[in-house]
Amino acid sequence: MGQVLHGCATTTHAVRTAIQRSKAPLKELAARYGLNHKTVAKWRKRTFVYDAPMGLKTPHSTVLSSKEEAIIVAFRNRLADLSAEWSRQRQMLGVPVL
């Protein structure tokens, strides 16, 4: 299976591995792979070759409080239950389901 890189990735896993294993100076590696020397330094410092996760560790709403979010989730679940029940009743009565 192919690698999945984020949209701005300038290196592949193979290049990252080569950077980590090489003893050549940063400037030489940067020139060889067409990268910024800071990028080479970053990948040399890391012990892994996959993209590090960025952003919030635990996503949360920036608009709703936890209580408001819980109320909306409960409402949506109830609405889904009612919709399923409505469909069953229409089917039992022989009314065509849209």
Residue 39: both structure tokens together? 């990028």
70 and 35 in a common domain: no
44 and 24 in a common domain: yes
Q: How many domains does the chain have?
A: 2
Interatomic CA distance for residues 43 and 61, integer angstroms: 33
| pLDDT tens for the chain, residues 1 to 98 | 466 666 677 788 889 999 999 999 999 999 999 999 999 999 999 988 887 777 778 877 778 888 998 999 999 999 998 888 888 888 888 877 66
The secondary structure of 11-25 as a DSSP string is: --HHHHHHHHH--S-
1 and 48 in a common domain: yes
Tell if the pTM clears 0.75, that is, is over it.
Answer: no
Residue 60: both structure tokens together? 């949360």
DSSP 94: T
64 and 47 in a common domain: no
Domain enclosing residue 77, as ranges: 60-98
Q: What is the pLDDT of residue 2?
A: 61
Q: What is the pLDDT of residue 4?
A: 67
94 and 65 in a common domain: yes
